[in-house]
Amino acid sequence: MRVHKKINGKGGLTIPKDLRTELGLFAGQGVDLEVSDGKLLLSKHAKTCHFCGTPEDVDTLMGIDICQSCKERLKRKMEGQDDE
């Protein structure tokens, strides 16, 4: 589906409801923007670990996306059990 929209004075753009519904995008949800071959691509934000970059088993802790493995490693580090 192709839709023509104009960018507002503050640089914003409204994504039509039918497109948001089709993509499963909801108010407050993060999106990723990427430029590829002169086109702007928008996709749902996929959480990745802030520390190791994995998309596996990621939660958000105090505003930081972190995987279970790094969360456990950080816990060991805080307890003085990690040598790195």
Q: What is the pLDDT of residues 28-79, one digit of tens each?
A: 778 889 999 999 999 888 888 989 989 899 998 888 889 999 999 999 999 9
The pLDDT score that the predictor gives to residue 84 is 60
Q: Are residues 38 and 16 in the same domain?
A: yes
The pLDDT score that the predictor gives to residue 1 is 77
Quick one: DSSP state of residue 26?
-
- pTM higher than 0.85 for the full model? no
Element (H, E) at 73: helix 68-78
Q: Which two tokens stand for residue 5?
A: 């929209």
Q: Are residues 24 and 57 in the same domain?
A: no
Q: Are residues 7 and 37 in the same domain?
A: yes
The pLDDT score that the predictor gives to residue 2 is 85
Q: Are residues 51 and 39 in the same domain?
A: no
Print the domain residue range for 41. 1-45
Torsion of CA 69, 72, 73, 74, to 10 degrees: 120
Domain count, the chain: 2
- Distance CA(48)–CA(40), nearest Å, equals 21
SS3 category, 21: helix
